[in-house]
Structure 1
């Protein structure tokens, strides 16, 4: 039975951040809708629901495309609208900053983990693949 190849840590982290950000964006849309209904905010319904739910769907789509290089760039671009939404409600900007920090952390730590995994696999491959310098010296001493 062959083991499945391990998924990239960067892929897992970026997908998780964008999926969770989609949920946070959905709740942000609901908060803005509540503020609009209470008269605290004046946003057109088409902008609130169309733009908000479109953003949520786009975040979900971007989460699924993180395996592609352009998917990563889309993830970067999608960090901006959450920050801009802070103009309507400042707490949304705080949440946007937190997700931006998570995005950057996921990319950095994921990249580091992926590099360390590749180094470990390369080291294991060279150890199994042929004699090392220590093995050659031991064989020369026996001869």
Structure 2
């Protein structure tokens, strides 16, 4: 079975982002004064966490990668609730970009090596 390095890198990034979203949701909920707390913060964070996991699980198709890009946009937008998320979200967006780019390059190089080995034997 051929394994895609690109998909592995992308899934790892999205899984790490799911953990980040969990903790950022707790921070956002904790920053709000007790009398203003409501389930909206927890619901939004839970939905984004679920989106991270769904995106990671659907990386066998283009839909998973599109959802991954949506996760990146939403993480950066999370900076409007927790300002440090602008920096963290942008950092993860850069990691996502390079995971796709470098993972794709590794997959192409592995295919080239396999092709050359098949020609040589």
TM bin, normalised by shorter chain, reads: over 0.9
- TM-score between both structures, scaled by the size of structure 1: 0.80
Unmatched 5+ stretches in structure 1: 129-143
Q: Can you list the C-alpha shifts for 1:25-82, whole angstroms capped at 9, x where unaligned?
A: 100000011101468xx6x623201111111011111111111111111111111111
> Quick one: distance in 2 between partners of 1:88 and 1:71?
26
Identify the residue that residue 49 of structure 1 maps to in structure 2. Answer: 42
Give 1:93 deviation, angstroms. 1.4
Structure with higher Rg: it is 1
CA RMSD of aligned residues (A): 1.5
Would the aligned equivalents of 2:54 and 2:64 in 1 still touch at CA under 8 Å?
Answer: no
> Quick one: distance in 1 between partners of 2:61 and 2:112?
23
Runs of 4+ displaced beyond 4 Å: none
1:80 matched to 2:73: yes
- TM-score between both structures, scaled by the size of structure 2: 0.93
Larger fraction in helix: 2
> Quick one: distance in 1 between partners of 2:38 and 2:95?
30
Equivalent of 2:94, from 97, 101, 105? 101
> Quick one: distance in 2 between partners of 1:29 and 1:35?
10
